[in-house]
Structure 1
Amino acid sequence: MLGSYIKTSGRSMMRNKLFSFINIVGLAISMSVGLLMIAFLSDLLSYDKFHVNHNRIYRVCDTYQNLDQKPIRLASTSVKAGLRIQEDKTGIDEMVLMRNGFGGDARSGNQVVPVGGLWASESFFKVFTFPLLQGNAATALREPYSIVLTEKTAKKIFGDANALGQTILFDTTAYAVTGVMKDIPALSHMHFEMLVSFSTFELPTHHAAHDMKWEHVWSNYVYVVLPEGSDPEALQRRLDKISAEENAALAHTKIKLWLQPMNNIVLGEDLSNQIGPTMVAAVPWVIGILSFVVILSACFNYTNLSIARSLRRSREVGIRKVIGALKIHVLGQFIAEALIISLLALVIAFGIFLLLRPQFMSIAPELANIVRLDLSPRIIAYFLLLAVAVGISAGFLPALFFSRINAVYVLKQTAGVKIFRNVSLRKALIVMQYVFSLAFIAATIIGYRQYRHFLTFDLGFKTENILNIKLGKNNADLLAKELKELPEITNLSRSLMITSVGSYYGENVKYTDPLDSALVYYNSIDEQYLPIHGHRLLAGRNFTAKAPDAEETEIIINEQVMKRFNIGGNNPAKAVGDFITFHGKKLQIIGVLKDFHYGKVDSEISPVCFRYYTGGKGRNGYINAGISTTDLPATMDKIEKAWKKIDPVHPMEAVFYDDQIEKAYSEFSAMIKIIGFLSFLAISIASMGLLGMVVFTTETRLREVSIRKVLGATEGHLIYLLSRGFLLLLAVSALIALPATYYLFDQVFLSDIVHRAPIGISELLLSIAVVMGVALLMIGSQTLRVARSNPADVLKNE
């Protein structure tokens, strides 16, 4: 019977080549998206599964709140929290305490290699499954100044020589290599080049007093392994108790410890201070739903075209039933036919997948850091399951329809199955396809306009032709001296960080009331920064040049700081000369700036102040270079050479300000590209289905058209007659899709964005124009062909 199914299916496909082509190509295009999503989700769900105890490992996270400000959810916690948990390990098998930020130039002999890593307590290899190739996992991180290298890092520093027992210098401090571990798997939420014993950090010479405080939660990470079958809630109650005891000593800050399963780190809540790449869980869900819609559209095509051919297939079904076929046999026949088409589509889809994979990975830099989309036997099995699922889904309704019809029913009801009064299933499916297509295209156009709005928004300062060069640990004065020699450099300034790209430095600020404080963001700048960036002073003056070791006494604030504390009665001129307390220092306000965007455009304008840039260890920041050139590659080459004179070891990190702002919205850009790509697929698949329906309809009405022509009907009238039903369906689709899309963007997706572009009628009309243009091309090409046919050729045998 299976052989009969295959033969019959093959004959049916060959008899209906156009319909078979539309079905196979439509399913192949949509399934290629499904293959991408399977590989994408498989990677995300496979993160950290190589750890033996991955189901029992939890990260201790923080919720940090100062006064009545909005709480901040952090992936990090304090050293104090880790030490408190370590004091009483009841209900915990193992615990590890880590801190980020260790790194620098590793020196061994004449070899200098820049590396970075983590401080980690000695239980690190008991919590995580990172096998050691050399050394003792139990003791490798026990003693101070012990270091464990990854295999790749060991090879970079020592080549093929044995690294174990060797000494590495960071500045003038020597570290002993006590272990070499296997390179970290790609699908790990944490990546590092080396581990340094946490006992090194605990030495008084390696940390400041505030690093060990309960409220210093920005750089440390605690992971625990729970016993088999234990209840995380029991540990959470202990963490609540610790939080309450430590918070009692703080006047205005409250910190709550909470547990996050390691399996939820990469694909989970969007926390600050993540230790590695993550993705908000909503993103794959949204992309997955959109991909499902595209696959569903191809299934609609199959259903529509199969049911449309019901009259032609009724004789085949009737003969099968006459010779004894049951409903289950007819059902099996058409399901088998759909499966064969789906498997043929899978072959084409796999080829498209291989072509799309590198394009998908290049949509956003973050994607290449998170997923690999590599093939494996498990992924191939998932691909086959998708083909089977799509085949069954596409063929189920036609199979059910054919298994239940009889010849008389088919002759009388050629319009197909009714789902509502006067509404056939075929019409409903066409409307749904074009609702999806219109919504996709409208979403792409609206999203792209928002993206361009962000990039061109007036930030309140100048960013054009400013190159931001990261200093690292280099001497800013030496590099500035080299750059000033270049005629293309018009001016230079220095800053601690780059504003308006999503980075934040903040401190609590007080005015006259010692109990009233507010979080104020800041940047440290020199006296050239404000002129280069075009900041506008409402009152007061700019900084003047100061010696690097000069005591900090002055500060410049924006309008928001002035209004927050009602300084000078909110009068900029009167605010100048007053004092605020910043990070425990009483500083005089020497200037009030017009408000500007310190953060991204999608957030409110914040209270911001400028401190004077002093440089120093760990605060070298950036040089901001104004550039005027007609030959940018040659200019960049000169800047690169100037950098090499100062630092021949480290590569220069220099990015134009406008490019940094564009990168800050790369996730938004990536989502637009994905939705735009899916829009193209959706409209392509829907149009192929529409073409098939138009071809079928015009062929079945060919005799009617010929008679009308004989009776005097014009070509224009015939085209209108044949196409009006389809145009009406498209109009209904627009009436459903566009209001729904407008509502979703206006009230849901963009509702929290403060400075957004208004959604205009032009975006909605443009989406209609695109869809209608493609649809009219499909309809017009076929209806015109039929309208121009010779009636004599059709009616001569009547």
Structure 2
Amino acid sequence: MFRNYLKIAWRNFIQHKWYSFLNIGGLAIGMACSILILLWVQSESSYDTFHDNADELYRLTSIASEDFKAAVSPAGMIEALPELIPEIEAGVRLSSPFKALFEADNQKFKEESAFYVDANFLDVFTFPLVKGDSKKALVQPDGILVTEDVAVKFFGTTNALGKTIKVDNNDVFTVTGILENIPTNSHLQFDILLPMSYNAKTNTDLINKVWDSFNFYGYFQFKKNTITSQEDLDAIIDRINQVYSSRNEFEITFNLQPLKDIHLHSDLQIDVGGHGNIQYVNIFLIVAFIILIVACINYMNLATARSARRAKEVGLRKVIGAGRRQLVLQFLGESTIVSFVSLLLAIGLVYILLPSFNELAQKELTFQLGDPMVWIALLTIALITGVISGSYPALFLSKFRPVRVLKGRLKLSKSNLVFRNGLVVSQFVISVLLLVGTIVIYKQLNFIKDKNLGFDKSNLIYVPMEGEIWGKMEALRTALAENALTKDFSIMSDLPSNLLTGDFAIHWEGKDPNQQILFPNIRADEDFLDVFQMSLLNGRSFSKNSSENNDYIINETAVRIMGMDIESAIGKSLTFRGDKGTIIGVVKDFNFKPLQYAIEPLVLQHAKRGNLTVIKAAPNSTENTIAALEKIYGTLNPAYPLSYNFVDSNLDAQYKGEQQMGAIFNVFALLAIFISCMGLYGLSAFMAEQRFKEIGIRKVLGASALRLVNMLSQDFLRLVFMAFVLALPIAWYVMKQWLQGFAFHIELQWWMFLLAGLIVLIIALSTVSYQSLRASLANPIKSLRTE
């Protein structure tokens, strides 16, 4: 029986090649898109699952206010909690990632992903060593761990145990371990590890074991079966908060974040970079499902449209004894065969498209057909696709009455027509939704790119303070000021683009003693406002008089929170971190954090020293300015190669995830629309074929080609209009929810929805009109010669 079904399916394929191509091509493209998306989703969902103790690992995070949730904790608290809470088996601290200059075999390398970690780091996390002893590698203060790639880069071989590396032209470290290259699905990405005991020689947080300075990442490994429910986790969190509140006056609350949740569920500030977003994972899962459904709808539509052609076959089978169950199995079998053929083509497409998709998504995804689980997943997709796409045609065709069919009285019911029209409407509802999403995402990303942040970000070059420059800041100032290319500069503690520092220790006249608000701050010199071209609303900027280190400039938001106004704030006293001074100016609000965050109160404090130098290059002189900087730094800091970047590049990097999501979304939205058009093209061809004689009669009676095209197209255009009306409220709600993730965002406007509708209308009209025009221009003699 199966052999017979297979033979019939093959004959249908050969006899109707174009129809088969549309079905198989649509399903293959839909499956390939879905497989690529699922590979991406699987990668995003697999972060940190490779650790042996992944289910017992949690990160300690802090909540200073509703608007300020951070991934960092106090060093002393992380160290002490395992002794205070017996359920914690081990705690480990990580510094913030840092850049340093490493010298090995008389070569210097600038590396950007290094951490200081506690000695038990490799006991808690599963980062295997290919060489060395994980129990001892981080014990000695002058030990250093490097990955395989870095070992080859530094020494030309992974056999580097015992070799020495000089850090920042200062201390010499001995290689005590070679790490396997860090998996791409780890939220911690690093190339080099240094012992925390070395950092403890100079770091005051570590020396004093502080509980009130938040500068370290803290991870805890809990004993097995300690946390088996949300209630258990809440109980541990309550105990941690009780411990902290008993030792500190600040109202900080803490949370425990499961290790596996960090990559996708972390919207925290002061976090390690490179996180994903669970919202985007959910969106793309829906997109994968939608694309597959669109392909299945194509199959259903084309199969039911061709039902008249197979009606006699069904009638004859029923006459000779075939039951409905057998017919259902036959048609489901045919759709499943088509689905499996499509799967083979989809696998080929995935292999062809995967390099481009990896480049688009900036991933290293692999498609491993040698994995049995991959085949199980693929065969499941093909089977489900075959059953879904063939279900309605099988049920519809199998219910034909043989007497009517064999007498030639087959007439499709209204319910069939309604269902098929419903499928077409569903496809174009999806198309409108995807197009609206594409337009809104594009506009939001452009809004981010073009938004006036409150300062001029163009032509700004920033250089970190490194090496000998720390002791030569005055010489640096003099050298920069004397060169016409670099004379517009400012020295500061942080860039006003992703500000991480802040403090509660602030007091002003009339402050409520119970009020606790975190104030970010920047320590900057007198040229800061000019270099960034910020607007001073009242007062003055910092003076070059070096004695005025306790002058403060605040932003508009700070003025409002302090209960003042722009005029009255000038001259008021302000104490920040114990330094009492005077408010001398109010600067117009500017965005010093990504646009997902609202503008917070800000304190600018006068200082001559800082961590960064920012130079404002003249237009079209960037290359010459960099050359001048290389000469200046080469003279003052010869042991360090110049390290520089651009402020606008730093800002763009903050929205890397959104840009990637937008690019991927656009590609798959276009593919979904293309698949819809393939089905519409085939459906319009069959509709034109069914009305072939009617068209011939109308032409004989004088109907013009334009009138015939209008007649054949108007039914489809009604369906597109209906889809547009249905899609509007859904699109508005979905995009409104997405935009809520940004404190600053565009407003949804009517033209975005109208444009999406017009694009879909034009695409549908172009697709249908081709077949309609072809039918209207056919010779009527061909259609009427049998009459």
After the TM superposition, which residues 191-270 of structure 1 pair with which residues of structure 2 at under 5 Å, given as runs?
A: 191-203=189-201, 205-208=202-205, 212-227=209-224, 231=228, 234=232, 237-258=235-256, 260-270=257-267
- 1:532 CA drift (Å): 2.8
Contact 1:43 1:371 in 2 (8 A): no
**Equivalent residue for 2:79, pick from 56, 77, 83:** 83
Whichever residue aligns with residue 530 of structure 1, its letter is L
**Equivalent residue for 2:618, pick from 627, 646, 649:** 627
Counterpart check, 1:463 vs 2:452? no
- 1:72 CA drift (Å): 3.9
Aligned partner of 2:441 in structure 1 is 447
Distance 2:711 2:285 in 1: 40
- Gap change, CA 1:201 and 1:528, over 3 Å in 2: closer
SS of corresponding position for 2:614? strand
Aligned partner of 1:552 in structure 2 is 549
Q: TM-score, normalised by structure 1?
A: 0.88
Contact 1:40 1:371 in 2 (8 A): no
**Equivalent residue for 1:401, pick from 365, 378, 396:** 396
Aligned partner of 1:294 in structure 2 is 291
- 1:653 CA drift (Å): 5.0
- 1:772 CA drift (Å): 1.1
Aligned partner of 1:17 in structure 2 is 17
Whichever residue aligns with residue 420 of structure 2, its letter is R
Whichever residue aligns with residue 403 of structure 1, its letter is S
- 1:594 CA drift (Å): 2.4
Whichever residue aligns with residue 285 of structure 2, its letter is G
Aligned partner of 1:391 in structure 2 is 386
- 1:327 CA drift (Å): 3.3
- Please give the per-residue CA displacement for 1:363-388, whole angstroms capped at 9, x wherever unaligned: 4xxx53x6534545337423343233
Aligned partner of 1:533 in structure 2 is 532
- Gap change, CA 1:242 and 1:624, over 3 Å in 2: same
Contact 2:74 2:213 in 1 (8 A): yes
- Gap change, CA 1:406 and 1:653, over 3 Å in 2: farther
Aligned partner of 1:774 in structure 2 is 763
Contact 1:150 1:193 in 2 (8 A): yes
- 1:94 CA drift (Å): 4.4
- Please give the per-residue CA displacement for 1:448-476, whole angstroms capped at 9, x wherever unaligned: 22322232223233233333344455626
Distance 2:738 2:158 in 1: 56
SS of corresponding position for 2:581? strand
Counterpart check, 1:710 vs 2:700? yes
- Gap change, CA 1:797 and 1:533, over 3 Å in 2: same
Contact 2:318 2:402 in 1 (8 A): no
Distance 1:710 1:101 in 2: 80
SS of corresponding position for 1:566? coil
Distance 2:337 2:28 in 1: 12
Distance 1:766 1:101 in 2: 45
Aligned partner of 1:342 in structure 2 is 339
- Gap change, CA 1:75 and 1:578, over 3 Å in 2: closer
- Gap change, CA 1:650 and 1:143, over 3 Å in 2: closer
**Equivalent residue for 2:349, pick from 343, 349, 352:** 352
Distance 1:757 1:71 in 2: 21
**Equivalent residue for 1:612, pick from 598, 606, 610:** 606
Distance 2:466 2:29 in 1: 47
Which range moves more in the overlay, 127-136 or 433-442? 127-136
SS of corresponding position for 2:161? coil
- 1:732 CA drift (Å): 0.7
Whichever residue aligns with residue 763 of structure 1, its letter is M
Aligned partner of 1:3 in structure 2 is 3
Contact 1:37 1:291 in 2 (8 A): yes
SS of corresponding position for 2:185? coil
- 1:506 CA drift (Å): 2.1
- 1:776 CA drift (Å): 1.2
Contact 1:117 1:193 in 2 (8 A): yes
Distance 1:237 1:347 in 2: 52
Counterpart check, 1:562 vs 2:559? yes
Distance 2:40 2:298 in 1: 26
Distance 2:339 2:222 in 1: 46
Contact 1:472 1:621 in 2 (8 A): no
SS of corresponding position for 2:322? coil
Aligned partner of 2:95 in structure 1 is 99
Which range moves more in the overlay, 74-83 or 556-565? 74-83
- Gap change, CA 1:471 and 1:376, over 3 Å in 2: farther
Whichever residue aligns with residue 394 of structure 1, its letter is S
**Equivalent residue for 1:282, pick from 266, 279, 283:** 279
Distance 1:599 1:123 in 2: 34
**Equivalent residue for 2:713, pick from 707, 711, 723:** 723
**Equivalent residue for 1:745, pick from 735, 738, 757:** 735
- Please give the per-residue CA displacement for 1:260-315, whole angstroms capped at 9, x wherever unaligned: 33232223343334345321212111111012112211110000000111111122
Distance 1:633 1:102 in 2: 27
Which range moves more in the overlay, 677-686 or 316-325? 316-325
Contact 1:339 1:392 in 2 (8 A): yes
- 1:234 CA drift (Å): 4.7
Distance 1:758 1:622 in 2: 37
Counterpart check, 1:372 vs 2:345? no
- 1:409 CA drift (Å): 6.2
Contact 1:61 1:74 in 2 (8 A): no
Distance 1:91 1:559 in 2: 47
Contact 1:558 1:608 in 2 (8 A): yes
- Please give the per-residue CA displacement for 1:577-619, whole angstroms capped at 9, x wherever unaligned: 222111221122222222333333454333223223433xxx4
Contact 1:146 1:178 in 2 (8 A): yes
Whichever residue aligns with residue 458 of structure 2, its letter is E
- 1:414 CA drift (Å): 4.0
- Gap change, CA 1:490 and 1:564, over 3 Å in 2: same
After the TM superposition, which residues 185-196 of structure 1 pair with which residues of structure 2 at under 5 Å, given as runs?
A: 185-196=183-194
SS of corresponding position for 1:319? helix
Contact 1:505 1:522 in 2 (8 A): yes
Counterpart check, 1:42 vs 2:38? no
Stretches of structure 2 lacking an aligned partner (at least 5 in a row): none
Whichever residue aligns with residue 661 of structure 1, its letter is L
- Gap change, CA 1:696 and 1:41, over 3 Å in 2: same
Q: TM-score, normalised by structure 2?
A: 0.89
Distance 2:598 2:115 in 1: 35
**Equivalent residue for 2:66, pick from 66, 70, 76:** 70
Aligned partner of 2:726 in structure 1 is 736
Which range moves more in the overlay, 481-490 or 308-317? 481-490
What percent of counterpart residues are identical?
28
- 1:211 CA drift (Å): 6.3
Aligned partner of 1:676 in structure 2 is 666
- Gap change, CA 1:709 and 1:327, over 3 Å in 2: same
- Gap change, CA 1:280 and 1:769, over 3 Å in 2: same
Counterpart check, 1:321 vs 2:318? yes
Whichever residue aligns with residue 656 of structure 2, its letter is S
- Please give the per-residue CA displacement for 1:380-435, whole angstroms capped at 9, x wherever unaligned: 4233432333223222222232333333566656435727xxx6211000001011
Contact 1:215 1:255 in 2 (8 A): no
Contact 2:63 2:253 in 1 (8 A): yes
Contact 2:187 2:263 in 1 (8 A): yes
- Please give the per-residue CA displacement for 1:196-228, whole angstroms capped at 9, x wherever unaligned: 33344445x443478622233332322304325
Distance 1:194 1:632 in 2: 33
Contact 2:114 2:193 in 1 (8 A): yes
- Gap change, CA 1:278 and 1:34, over 3 Å in 2: same
Distance 1:164 1:92 in 2: 33
Contact 1:489 1:628 in 2 (8 A): no
Contact 1:38 1:383 in 2 (8 A): no
- Please give the per-residue CA displacement for 1:639-664, whole angstroms capped at 9, x wherever unaligned: 56666666677665544444443443
**Equivalent residue for 1:575, pick from 548, 557, 569:** 569
- 1:698 CA drift (Å): 0.8
- Gap change, CA 1:725 and 1:446, over 3 Å in 2: same
Distance 2:73 2:236 in 1: 16
